[in-house]
């Protein structure tokens, strides 16, 4: 990844700094993380990175198409690495679990958006909120008790 990252950064007039590499590695490791979570992960490896550097770096990495953000809570955006598969998110309102879902699951709906509205959805930003199967089962079990 670092050669690809280096080339993309240079193409946009940026350098590959240790801080940028640390932030991208943290996002990849954490899979879905807020800037504060990325900062905590990076700070464990290097105290030379401050929170404002993390925010600026996430913006640069998103501009380069290496990370995306989605709003999975009512707080800070959650970042995830752009890898070889696009996905959208299911977010449980109870346990706050996040499930990445392949876009083929809603292919008919996205095709309809294209056909009827000429609209191309960006599924990496899509979050569907609800209740996961485990929380639903626990709730139903507690209701029956």
**Residue written as token pair 């996002």:** 27
Q: What residue segments make up the domains of the chain, in order of their start?
A: 2-144
Identity of the highest mean pLDDT range in 7-11, 82-86, 125-129, 135-139: 135-139
> 96-134: per-residue pLDDT in tens?
898 989 999 999 999 999 999 999 998 877 889 999 999
User: What is the phi/psi pair of residue 75, to 5°?
Assistant: -105, -135
Question: What pTM did the predictor assign?
Answer: 0.73
Q: How far apart are CA 129 and CA 12, in angstroms?
A: 36
The CA distance from 16 to 25, in Å, is: 13
What CATH code is assigned to 2-144? 1.10.10.10
| Exposure string for 68-105, b = 16+ CB within 10 A, e = fewer | bbbebeeeebbbbbeeeeebbbbbbeeeeebeeeebee
Q: What is the overall mean pLDDT for the chain?
A: 87
């Amino acid at each position: 990844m670092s050669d690809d990252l280096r080339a993309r950064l240079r193409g946009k007039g940026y350098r590959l700094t240790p801080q940028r590499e640390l932030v991208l590695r943290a996002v990849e490791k954490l899979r879905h993380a807020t800037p504060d979570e990325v900062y905590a992960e990076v700070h464990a490896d290097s105290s030379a990175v401050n929170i404002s550097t993390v925010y600026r770096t996430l913006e640069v990495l998103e501009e380069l198409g290496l990370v995306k953000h989605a709003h999975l809570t009512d707080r800070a955006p959650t970042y995830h690495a752009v890898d070889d598969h696009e996905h959208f998110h299911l977010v449980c309102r109870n346990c706050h679990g996040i499930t990445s879902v392949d876009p083929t699951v809603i292919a008919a709906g996205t095709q309809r958006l294209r056909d009827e509205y000429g609209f191309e959805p960006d599924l990496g930003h899509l979050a569907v909120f609800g209740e996961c199967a485990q929380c639903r089962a626990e709730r139903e079990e507690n209701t029956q008790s």
